[in-house]
Amino acid sequence: QKEVEQDPGPLSVPEGAIVSLNCTYSNSAFQYFMWYRQYSRKGPELLMYTYSSGNKEDGRFTAQVDKSSKYISLFIRDSQPSDSATYLCAMSRLYTDKLIFGTGTRLQVFP
């Protein structure tokens, strides 16, 4: 079993839709949870990070962490064609820089 599971998609939605991206994990030691966006042939860029459980909002993006279910989500409101990219979840334990990535979900937002 992989430490982090993520549906690879692709996910295709119309502009303006609410997008829900999810990851599950098996290691209860994970404390930091991140979402990265990666455009084709580029390096990932950090979108959101959350420490432990809870919600965090930044503009159109909301990250949720449910440690009891070992489940994290990223919601994108009012999705735009420019949101079309691969979204990777990543996690790490306390006192370590090492990130464990999900496989990434490819999102396409069409006009």
Partner 1 sequence: GAVVSQHPSRVICKSGTSVKIECRSLDFQATTMFWYRQFPKKSLMLMATSNEGSKATYEQGVEKDKFLINHASLTLSTLTVTSAHPEDSSFYICSASSVSWDLSYNEQFFGPGTRLTVL
Residues that bind partner 1 (CB under 8 A): 6, 8, 32, 36, 41-46, 49, 51, 88, 92, 97-99, 101-104, 106
Rank residues 79 and 86 by Cβ distance to partner 1 and give the closer one: 86
Task: Give me the least distance between CB of 16 and partner 1, in Å please.
Answer: 27
Rank residues 29 and 46 by Cβ distance to partner 1 and give the closer one: 46
Task: Give me the least distance between CB of 13 and partner 1, in Å please.
Answer: 19
Three-class HEC string of the chain: CCCEEECCCCEEEECCCCEEEEEEECCCCEEEEEEEEECCCCCCEEEEEEECCEEEEECCEEEEEECCCCEEEEEECCCCHHHCEEEEEEEEECCCCCCEECCCEEEEEEC
Task: Give me the least distance between CB of 101 and partner 1, in Å please.
Answer: 5
